[in-house]
Structure 1
Amino acid sequence: MPELPEVEALRRFLETNAVGAVIGRVDIVALSVLKTFDPSPTELQGRDITAVGRWGKHLGVRCGEHWLITHLSRGGWLRWIDNPAVAPPKPGRGPLALRVHLFTPEAETPAFDLTEAGTKKRLAVWIVKDPKEVPGIARLGPDALEVSREEFGEILSGASQRIKNAITDQMLIAGVGNAYSDEILHAAKLSPFAMANKIDPGPLYDAMRDVLTEATSRLVGEDAARLKGEKRSGMKVHARTGLPCPVCGETICEVSYADKSFQYCPGCQTGGKPLADRRMSRLLK
C-alpha cells in the first residue's frame, strides 16, 4: 500500500508535471472506483490543474473549483503516460481504473492512469469542492510529518492499544501504514506489541520523523514508475522475513494475520524473544 513517502513523492511528481495543464477527456474504465456522482467527471474537462494536495495517504489534483481525489488503497498506483492511446480504453478485467488526459502548455498530450492490481478492488476516487467532503479525509488525525512532539505525546497517552495499531490508525496519525510502521518501530527499538500509552513517546517521535523524512527525500524526484522498487530497497525489516537484521544480525521474524503480516527484529525490538504468531501457533497444536 502506498504510504506517506510514496504519496508525497507522487504529489510532487504531479506538481511538477501536471500543474498548468488542462484536463482533456476523463476515461472511467471501472465505474466502481467513483464514490461521488455529482459533479460528473465530464465537468472536469477543460479545467486547469492549479494545485496538487496530499492528506495522509489521499492524493488530489485541483481542477478549477473541484478536486479529483484518490485513495490508492492496497493495490492502487498512479502511472504517468507520455503518449496515451487516442481511443478510449475498453472496460475489462485489467488493472486500469481511470485515465485523465492532459494538454500541457508545451502542447504535449500526456495522461495519468489510476490502476489497481489484485482481485480486491478498493481504489477510490471522489470529485468534490472541499477535500473534507471525503469521509476518510474528514476523520484524519494530524499528518505524521507535521504533528508536534507535544501533540504526538498526547495522542499516544490516550491510546489504549498496541503501538503498532496506534501509529497506523489514520484517525490518530495520518500517513503511516504497515510497511513504514515496521521500519519506525525497528528504528525506535520498540516491540510492536508494546502498549502505546506505556512507552516514552520521544524516541518513537524521532524515529517516525527520521524514517519518513529519509524515505521521502529518497523517493522525491524519482519517476512514478520506479517508486515501488525504491520503497522496497530502503526497508530494513519490512518484507525481509528470514533475512539478517542489518543492525544486529538477528534473523528477522514475522507475525501473520488473516490477510496481512508484519516483520520485526527480536534482537533490536523484543529482547531476543519471538512474538506470538497465531498462524504458527495453530500449526504447532
Structure 2
Amino acid sequence: MSLTELPTELIDGLGVRSASPVSGGDIARAYRLETGDGPLFLKWRPRATPDLFEREAAGLRAMRARSGGLGVPEIIRESPSGLVLEWIEGGRASASTETDLGRGLAHLHRTGHDLFGGLDGAPAGYLGSAQVDLTPTADWPEFFVHRRVIPLIDRGIAQGVVAPEARVLIDRLAPRAAELCGPPEPPALVHGDLWAGNRMIGAGGRNWLIDPAAHWAHREIDLAMMTLFGGFGADCFAAYEEVFAPAAGWRSRLRWYQLPPLLVHAVLFGGGYGAAALEVLRDYAR
C-alpha cells in the first residue's frame, strides 16, 4: 500500500520502504513495515479514542519490565492513533513452550500492588475496544461486581444483546460477591485479555504476550480468560500451579470470572455471548 496512507507521526524517520496489511484483530488496522533495519509492526486506528493506545502502551511497558522470561514487544513509536512495535517472527512450539508460559505468567502475577485498578492510577481502560472503569480501590469484590460486571450488563441490556434478567440476577448475587470472588489476594499485574490469540509463539518456541488490557486485578482473571476459548495446554496450568498455586476452589470460580469477557463480546459482537453470560449468572444464582 502507499506509505502516504499511513500516519506520518508513527512512521516518519523509521526508514520505512513499504507496508503490507497483516491480520491484527478487530480493533486496529495492522501492517508489516519493511525498513532498512528489519521489519516492524504497525497497529493503527484512525480517530481512536484518545487514551486507547496510551493504555495499551502502559500495559506493554509494565509487562515487559516484569515478564518472567516471556516475550513482550518493545514499543518503537506511539501516538494517540496507534503503535509501532518490534516485529515478532512466528515459530513453532517447543517441548517447553506451555511450561514456560505457566511459569512466566506465575512470575508476572507475583508483581504486587496496593490497589486494584488502572496502571499508574488511570481511572479507565479498555477490554478490546470497550471502555471499562479502572478507578483504583482496595476492595476487589466491589471492583469486580460494581465497576466491571454491572456496568457491562447495563450496557448490554441497553443495546438489546443481554436479557434484562441478567440485572435481576447480578443484583441477587452482589451481596455474595466476597464469597464468589474467592479468598482475598493482593492485586496482581494481569494481562487482562489473555486468550490464545494474544499469545504468540516465536522463534525457538518462545511465548510472546501481545494486545494487553493490563491492570491490577485478581490473578484468576487471566486464568479464567485462558480457559474461556481454550488454546493453552495442561502443562501450562500445571507449571503455573507449581510456581504460584491459586487458592483452593479456583476452578469453580472460572466461569464467574469469565463474565466480563463474555459481556464485552456481547456488547461488541452480539451473537450468543449475552445468552452465555446469562447462563453463568443463572448457575451461580441457583
- TM class by smaller structure: under 0.3
TM-score norm. by structure 1 comes to 0.27
TM-score norm. by structure 2 comes to 0.27
CA radius of gyration, larger in: 1
Higher percent of residues as helix: 2
